[in-house]
Amino acid sequence: MKEKITITTLRAKKERGEKIVTITCYDYPSARLLDEAGADIVFVGDSLGDNVLGYETTLPVTMDEMIHHAKAVRRGVSRALLLVDMPFLSYQVSPEEALRNAGRFMKEAGVEAVKVEGGEAAAAETVSRLVSAGVPVMGHLGLTPQSVHQLGGYRVQGRTAESAERMLSNAKALVDAGVFAIVLEMIPPSLAKQITEAVPVPTIGIGAGPHCDGQVQVFHDLFGFYPHRKFKHSRRYAEVGQTILDAAKKFVCEVRNDEFPGRD
């Protein structure tokens, strides 16, 4: 087996200028494939909601749903770092409740790190509490999907000088609180570059340009499970959705035409 990826590995990659690859995952067979492919971080995102469970947003996803899927992914991952999203209202109420829920992820699902959104004082306090208890934490700035209604939709953040300065300040506050990495989502590439150069921890971009220390993409976007869904910040590497549809149609047709399972 190749070297196990840890948070120390990721910091070393940033120092060497090696890009970090993160892909979301929600089940055992996909986890096995991504781990074998060489992903550095296999990430059970709360994007589970709109990609697997059929919710319109990530907000309805529960702790129990996240743990259920994280346990499945855990069984398929041996080399990559296993990261999980703290779902909406699992960490915002208080640092103590955040610690209890992060503890559930580590004890019940065997995850190795958690991700929380936001960079304000409350978020930094929560990060500090988790890290002090031994929970590795990744931060998340820019477009934070759990705050989509507050942000007024899915739009680029940090466009103004004031908001860009605030985001840079929040990134430094998260580092001071102890995060091992920060996701930068849908912010101008110039701002992502500035933050990446200003902090000692890896930055993982999604819709934030080429200057981050790594990139994260959603499994179903990479492989074309939803042909109608297209994002400027993603690229399809396969059309699995269409392949499955064509194969299913062929099976349906063969059964109805009495061609499957065939005659002796």
185 is catalytic: yes
Q: What is the mean pLDDT of residues 176-195?
A: 98
Query: What pTM, to 2 d.p., does this model score?
Result: 0.96
pLDDT at 159 over 70: yes
10 Å CB burial of residue 6 (0-12, 13-18, 19+) is middle
Question: What does the pLDDT look like over 51-72, one tens digit per residue?
Answer: 999 999 999 999 999 999 999 9
Give the pairing of strands 214-217 and 20-24.
parallel
The more confident residue out of 263 and 54 is: 54
**85 Cβ contact list (under 8 Å, min separation 6):** 43, 44, 45, 46, 47, 58, 66, 114, 115
Residue-level length of the chain: 264
* Annotated catalytic residue within 36, 185, 254, 259: 185
Residue 183 burial (CB count, 10 A): 27
Query: pLDDT value at position 1?
Result: 54
10 Å CB burial of residue 146 (0-12, 13-18, 19+) is buried
Rounded-to-integer distance, Cα 204 and Cα 78, Å:
21
Alpha-carbon torsion (128, 129, 133, 135), positive or negative: negative
